[in-house]
Amino acid sequence: MLLRHTTPKEIDRQALTINPAKTCQPVGAMYAALGLHKCLPHSHGSQGCCSYHRSALTRHFKEPVMAATSSFTEGSSVFGGTANLVQSINTIFTVYEPDIIAAHTTCLSETIGDDMTAIIGKAKDDGVVPEGKHVIYCNTPSYVGTHVTGYANQVTSFVKSFSTATPKKKNVVNLVAGWMEPSDMAEIKRLAKVLEARTIMFPDLTGVLDAPMDGKFHMYPNGGTTLEDMAATGDSKFSIGMGPYSTEDACKTLENKCKVKFEMVDIPIGLKATDRFLMSLSRHANVPVPDEITNERGRLVDLIADSARLLYGRRVALWGDPDTLIPLTEFLVSLDMRPVYVVTGTPGKLFDARMKEILEKVPEAKFKSGERADMFQMHQWIKQEGVDLLIGNTYGKYIARDEDTPFVRFGFPIMDRSGHNYMPKTGYQGAANLVVQILGALLDHEDRTCSEEKIELQM
């Protein structure tokens, strides 16, 4: 047994987190920053963080993940990191020539209280920020919230730094993308195109963390929201924020700054969340939903109807980030599956409220968020009463093997499989991908473990 020390016996833990269902802020800020064109993320802290965050993203995407660091030493940790950041900015613009440096902080620079505005101001005074180049930042203390919070903070900094309102609003809808895969963003952009809606997506990881191999290393790939588009978000007539945990802050900031009204929707994962997203986009972009999309929806409904008996009543444990868990749990319920255990390490009341509402039909369900809402807790619940399916990141494979439970990889990080960043989970097409993956996991397990006389040639 891999997790041989995990037993069903729970104690009331007050201090110890075991096998977290979250990580810390800066990796989210780094990820989001890569969604701006010609932007280099910068970690203002000691260099270990930056290496860890780059490695985590690289392991997930199997793609280059570039970022620089202030490389604090003990001296700068005591006397402040001003000189480090100013020197970083100089080195980065001279050697790596980005258009934008998007800095974030760590628990180190936050604890010592480095004043980022002042330091960046000093860098400008010192003349190390070339004409037309930008240094933006967000505060991302690792001891507050999680990686999702860091993502949200970085997206908000884009708005603070670049969104500009001119007197003329344009018939454009901002699509503020919560933490999802590049493939998910691509799928959402495809849907918007089919609707003929004029949109600006930010951040936009497509083309960045799913870049082609062409024999050259492109430090700044073709993808990413451009500075022009980012500035233009202030002139859009509306914003749709996908995933309240990762985008609500940015939407509110944009409303306050540029008077762009907004609506929050879930990341369009599953049937109903996609329905709501499309209706929101259709309404705010003032475009009808074409038959092509209605047909896509119909195909998904068809697939679910065809597979219903295999999904009905199956108990599922899932873990991950609230913005994806909420629509995913809702989708599972709409498949008549029973999401009995749901944990996210990311704190917040919204998750609890939405779960309560979504899981009304699953009275036995347990869910938890925030500190100590970890995979150890979830595994203890599984030990008490088992499940038919696990859905979550790579760390679930240890539970899947110990408990001999079918497992679908979903969320961040997925380090032990490749290609997941090419396959969307959003939209009707993404929902179909998910159903196919779920069925595959359930049926493969059935075929492997049932008695020989029960082997079925057909569904």
Residue list 66-95, contact with other proteins (CB under 8 A) = 66-77, 84-85, 87-92, 94-95
Count of beta carbons in the 10 Å neighbourhood of residue 239: 28
Toward other proteins, which CB reaches closer, 112 or 231? 112
The interface region with other proteins, picked from 136-144, 165-173, 228-236, 334-342 by CB under 8 A, is: 136-144
Alpha-carbon gap, residue 34 to 210, rounded angstroms: 12
| One character per residue 284-323, x = contact with other proteins (rule: CB under 8 A) | ----------------------------------------
Measured in residues, the chain has a length of 459
Question: Rounded distance, CA 123 to CA 194, Å?
Answer: 45
Residue from 37, 54, 338, 420 binding other proteins (CB under 8 A): 54
Chain residues 378-407 in contact with other proteins, contact rule CB under 8 A: 395, 398
Reading the block at residue 170, the tokens are: 């344009």
Asked whether 18 and 374 are in contact (CB, 8 A), the reply is yes
Q: Is 51 in the site for other proteins (CB under 8 A)?
A: yes
- Binding to other proteins (CB under 8 A) within 138-157 occurs at 141-144, 146
> What order of strands is seen across the sheet that includes strand 39-44?
68-69, 39-44, 100-105, 134-138
> In the complex, what is the shortest distance from the CB of residue 433 to other proteins, in angstroms, rounded to a whole number?
24
CA dist 364 → 89, 339, 382 (Å): 54, 9, 13
Nearest to 300, CA basis, from 193, 173, 191, 205 = 191
Q: Which range, of 53-61, 328-336, 355-363, 442-450, touches other proteins by CB under 8 A?
A: 53-61
- Does position 349 interact with other proteins (CB under 8 A)? The reply is no
The residue (of 59 and 122) whose beta carbon lies closer to other proteins is 59
What is the footprint of other proteins within residues 192-221 (CB under 8 A)? Answer: 211, 213-218
Query: Rounded distance, CA 194 to CA 178, Å?
Result: 21
- Exposed, middle or buried: residue 153 (CB in 10 Å: 0-12, 13-18, 19+)? buried
By CB under 8 A, residue 457 contacts other proteins:
no
Window of 45-53, 182-190, 298-306, 334-342 that interacts with other proteins by CB under 8 A: 45-53
Distance separating alpha carbons of residues 243 and 131, to the nearest angstrom: 36
| Number of residues this chain uses to bind other proteins (CB under 8 A) | 84
Which one, 107 or 201, has the nearer CB to other proteins?
107
361 binding other proteins? (CB under 8 A) = no
Q: How far is the CB of 15 from other proteins (least distance, A)?
A: 4
Question: What whole-number distance in Å separates Cα of residue 330 and Cα of residue 368?
Answer: 16
The candidate with the shortest Cα–Cα distance to 207, out of 73, 379, 35, is 35
- Per CB under 8 A, the list member of 59, 160, 198, 237 interacting with other proteins is 59
- What is the DSSP code (8-state) at residue 289? P
CB of 173 to other proteins, least distance (A): 34
Under the binding rule (CB under 8 A), the answer on residue 422 touching other proteins is no
- Among the listed ranges 25-33, 225-233, 309-317, 420-428, the one in contact with other proteins (CB under 8 A) is 25-33
Q: Is 52 in the site for other proteins (CB under 8 A)?
A: yes
Which is closer to other proteins, CB of 142 or CB of 156?
Answer: 142
N- to C-terminal Cα distance for the chain? Answer: 33
Cα gap 382→227, rounded to integer Å:
48
Q: Binding to other proteins by residue 171, rule CB under 8 A? A: no
Q: What is the DSSP letter of 93?
A: I
H helices within 213-270, ranges in order?
Answer: 227-232, 244-258
Q: How far is the CB of 253 from other proteins (least distance, A)?
A: 22
